[in-house]
Chains A and B, each alone.
Chain A
């Protein structure tokens, strides 16, 4: 299980949800929206990626960044 924390002032909630939608079939993803941040927990990662769980989590974070950048530029 890997826990990530996305600060709300840096990552808008829709960016996190878009990444969850993109990665949803590859892992069990729980999202908890808190005052300051959005907590994401990744578990039951697809066996194809299970031995690279850190890379999987980092890729997820990159996807959130991509969505946040699009959102910041008004492209989302």
Chain B
């Protein structure tokens, strides 16, 4: 059996399934990530039949019906999308993560905040009180 839908093609025969993927749509990183999640249920082999195309061949570890293999193809397709999305989010938030890490490791923002608070306290007019303890109910205003 062979099914083709736009750029997602798969074929099924005895206990095995082969999908042809366009690397322009599904980066290799996403293909690795998705394939790896199926190694407990299937034997997986990658091949490159043409430039920018990756063939993913699955052979199930236990007996499977054609319906099982079709379901597997759909599940893999969903997982591919999931992996692509994870990659895109990871790329789009990379600078934020790097900035946060850099601040956590190398910044002195916490010390700067403490210094700013101490400076603010020092700037308050508490000279009348020798202990410089503010008594709010006596401030009158």
Contacts and interface: CB of A to CB of B under 8 A. Distances in A.
Answer whether A and B are interacting partners.
Answer: yes
Interface of A: 5, 7, 9-11, 55, 58-59, 61-62, 65-66, 68-69, 72-73
Interface SS majority for chain A: helix
Given A9-B48, A10-B46, 16 more contacts: A7-B48, A10-B28, A10-B48, A55-B61, A61-B45, A62-B39, A62-B43, A65-B44, A66-B36, A68-B32, A69-B32, A69-B35, A69-B36, A72-B32, A73-B29, A73-B32
B36 A65 contact: yes
B54 interface: yes
A7 to B, nearest CB: 5
Interface residues of B, number: 16
Interface string B92-105: 00000000000000
A7 B47 contact: yes
A7 B40 CA distance: 23
A59 B42 CA distance: 9
Contact of B39 (A5, A7, A65): A65
- B43, B48, B54 — which one has the most chain A CB atoms within 10 A of its CB? B43
B28 A72 contact: yes
A72 B39 contact: no
Given A10-B48, A10-B54, A72-B28, A59 B33 contact: no
Contacts of A59: 43
